[in-house]
Amino acid sequence: MSEPVEFSLVEDGTAMISMNRPALHNAFDEGMIAALTAACLRAGEDPRVRRVVLEGRGKSFSAGADLNWMRRSAAYTAEQNHADALGLGRLMRTLNDLPKPVIGLVQGAAFGGGAGLAACCDIVIAAEDAKFCFSEVRLGLIPAVISPYVVAAIGPHQARRYFCSAEVIPAPEAMRIGLAHIVAPRDGLAAARDAMIATLAQGGPEAQADAKALVGDVAGRDIDDALVNMTARRIADRRASAEAQEGLAAFLEKRAPSWRAG
């Protein structure tokens, strides 16, 4: 039996995390959630990993929750349901907080929790045929665990509409509202991925980790003295870092910095 999630590391430092249940449109259950969480932790902790690509094998990125898993959960106690939901919550937070840039490569369906996974990615490249949907209310449920990441991506006003209507969101509309960043032809998805990987390779890996964390630390905050001081401290610390010193020296000497060597 194949693994529900496959992890591979390319020589350029790209970790590929592939959801591998194509016959089920990469719908996830507790086993797949645990495997995805483990893969994300592995990528985050491995110093060789510079960036992560999250993809789904087959026709779809992820159709959301597996029906058999949902049937089992219907018989859970309140405590079991809470523990089960926390597992999904840990996955979303682990992916969202990865200290490496994450590219989500979305084709076909990204429904429910699948759309939530996309919202946790830093850069979402969607095929022209990609369709996003927060379908939970049609089952009498709500997209609770994924909501912090989706609202951060598309804002509360759009979230109100799509959480309540469960409308299917085509790729161009997903890009317009902030759920996707790039829309590419289905047969051009790999090329768009490779172009973004090449773009990310230009940046210092430590700076990228700090830049990603910076967004989370300033989003939604009042611009007050505390925030101004915090951001000034962040750039001062970064200027003093070995990576920044190397980057500035390389710029002045008109050469590639060490992280782009070779």
For residue 111, the model assigns a pLDDT of 97
**What is the average pLDDT value for the chain, to the nearest integer?**
95
For residue 106, the model assigns a pLDDT of 98
For residue 262, the model assigns a pLDDT of 52
For residue 1, the model assigns a pLDDT of 64
pLDDT tens-digit series, residues 104-152: 999 999 999 999 999 999 999 999 999 999 999 999 999 999 999 999 9
For residue 71, the model assigns a pLDDT of 81
pLDDT tens-digit series, residues 38-88: 999 999 999 999 999 999 999 999 999 888 888 887 788 889 889 888 999
Residues 49/100, Cβ–Cβ less than 8 Å? yes
For residue 65, the model assigns a pLDDT of 86
Q: Is the pLDDT reported for residue 91 higher than 60?
A: yes
Q: 14-19 and 5-9 as β-strands: parallel, antiparallel, unpaired?
A: antiparallel
